[in-house]
Amino acid sequence: MIPRRGTYPSSRYQRQIALPPMGELGQKRLREARVTLIGMGALGCVQAAYLARSGVGLLRLVDRDVVEEGNLQRQLLFDESDALEGAPKAEAARRHLQSANSEIVLESRVRHLEPGNARELLSGSDVILDGTDNFETRFLINDYSIATGTPWVYGACVGTVGIAAPLIPGRSACLRCLLSPESSTPEPTCESAGILGPVAGIIGSLQAAAALRILVERAAWDPWGPIRVEAWDGMPTVLPRSKPDPRCPACAERKLEFLEGRRSAAQEVLCGREAVQVLPYSRAPRDLCEAERILSRHGEVRRTPYLLRATLQGHHFSIFPDGRVIVFGTSDPLRARALVDRYLAGF
């Protein structure tokens, strides 16, 4: 059968156009839209699949990582051959999505989003979707969103719990109105606390639905408040809509420290030691007792008067009370950073 290309309006979007809030105008707006997805993990795969199939005109897929076997449990766009090949996630996702919809433009960027490239990677977006695994990147997206007035959709999940929130500058709270970057206790991660695949499906779907609504209704939409889902017990909670906080350092005082690079984590290769030191973005002192309690459930942890040594799934870390982490066994700064985000996000 010859595929039908460029025959819009075709039957492809018929059941979506039939929705009263969508219609032909909504579909046209989707076709003209540009969306950037940061992170092509479990959330990004779900977001991208729905947006590509919905006919969003341009999707930019940004991810720094490669597909591994341990991703296949929940990262729905990838298959065993991607993992065997160690394909970059952004590129593997682009390939699979293009075969699902040849009518849209897909860009893959195998990059780590950071202050130096944020304006380039996020430029021209009508909406940005969060599929990241760490709060530093989320605060960076938040700063860019405020600087440029670009809506974004926050999403996170770990264990059996997830949360999604559309954040539209001027109309809703921003991420820093809701959360402080100064966390002294370790955040659980999918590596340390596990992840139930369907939680990512629910949260990624909510994020995709919010993105579609932003694209179709534009300034007319007053976004819903954060939705929290406990998927094992079947408990959804809709939190109240929150307005911008007049004392927020980011959206009220416009101190965009993450975008300006003044609050970035930094990596430093330690000469001759096959080790990299990662300096955290948060300046709060670390609670090593709490860290020991949480991490000891997932690996071997030993506390000395000065630091915490942890071996988590074969990776060795030294964690200091001032927040520094030394990652042993690599001299690649980005690899070290990815391991810290994977196992110790929030340190």
All residues at 6 or more sequence positions from 278 whose CB lies less than 8 Å from its CB, including other chains: 265, 266, 267, 324, 325, 326, 327, 336, 337, 340
Q: Helix H segments across 101-183? A: 115-122, 135-148, 175-178
What three-state secondary structure class fits 315?
strand
Nearer to Zn ion, 164 or 248 (CB): 248
Does residue 176 touch Zn ion according to CB under 5 A? yes
Q: Which stretch binds Zn ion (CB under 5 A): 172-180, 197-205, 209-217, 298-306?
A: 172-180
Residues 280 and 136: their CA atoms lie apart, in Å, by 9
Nearer to Zn ion, 16 or 148 (CB): 148
Nearer to Zn ion, 171 or 324 (CB): 171
Cβ pair 295, 318 in contact under 8 A? no
Instruction: Give the distance, in angstroms, between the CA of residue 245 and the centroid of all CA atoms in the same chain.
Output: 23
Other Cβ atoms less than 10 A from the Cβ of 245: the count is 15
In the bound complex, what is the minimum distance in angstroms from residue 155's beta carbon to Zn ion?
A: 18
Q: Which stretch binds Zn ion (CB under 5 A): 105-113, 174-182, 183-191, 290-298?
A: 174-182
| Contacts to Zn ion from residues 49-108, by CB under 5 A | none
Q: Is 123 left (phi over 0), alpha (psi -120 to 50) or beta?
A: beta
Q: Which stretch binds Zn ion (CB under 5 A): 24-32, 78-86, 240-248, 279-287?
A: 240-248
In the bound complex, what is the minimum distance in angstroms from residue 73's beta carbon to Zn ion?
A: 35
Nearer to Zn ion, 77 or 177 (CB): 177
Residues 106 and 101: their CA atoms lie apart, in Å, by 10
Indicate which single residue of 177, 295, 326, 327 sits in contact with Zn ion (rule: CB under 5 A). Answer: 177
- The residue with tokens 């809509």 is 241
In the bound complex, what is the minimum distance in angstroms from residue 221's beta carbon to Zn ion?
A: 19
Nearer to Zn ion, 45 or 251 (CB): 251
Return the H-helix or E-strand segment holding 204. Answer: helix 197-217
Does residue 251 touch Zn ion according to CB under 5 A? yes
Residues 244 and 258: their CA atoms lie apart, in Å, by 19
Tokens at residue 281, please?
């973005």
In the bound complex, what is the minimum distance in angstroms from residue 159's beta carbon to Zn ion?
A: 27
What letter would DSSP give residue 38? E
Does residue 141 touch Zn ion according to CB under 5 A? no
What letter would DSSP give residue 312? E
In the bound complex, what is the minimum distance in angstroms from residue 163's beta carbon to Zn ion?
A: 17
Tokens at residue 307, please?
């630091």
Other Cβ atoms less than 10 A from the Cβ of 145: the count is 26
Does residue 248 touch Zn ion according to CB under 5 A? yes
Residues 299 and 319: their CA atoms lie apart, in Å, by 14
Binding mask 185-224 for Zn ion (x = CB under 5 A): ----------------------------------------
Q: Which stretch binds Zn ion (CB under 5 A): 61-69, 244-252, 268-276, 286-294?
A: 244-252
Does residue 165 touch Zn ion according to CB under 5 A? no
In the bound complex, what is the minimum distance in angstroms from residue 257's beta carbon to Zn ion?
A: 13
In the bound complex, what is the minimum distance in angstroms from residue 179's beta carbon to Zn ion?
A: 10
Peptide bond into 9 cis (omega under 30): yes
In the bound complex, what is the minimum distance in angstroms from residue 167's beta carbon to Zn ion?
A: 9
Which amino acid is located at 135 in the chain?
A: F
Task: Compute how many residues bind Zn ion; rule: CB under 5 A.
Answer: 6
Residues that bind Zn ion (CB under 5 A): 174, 176-177, 248, 250-251
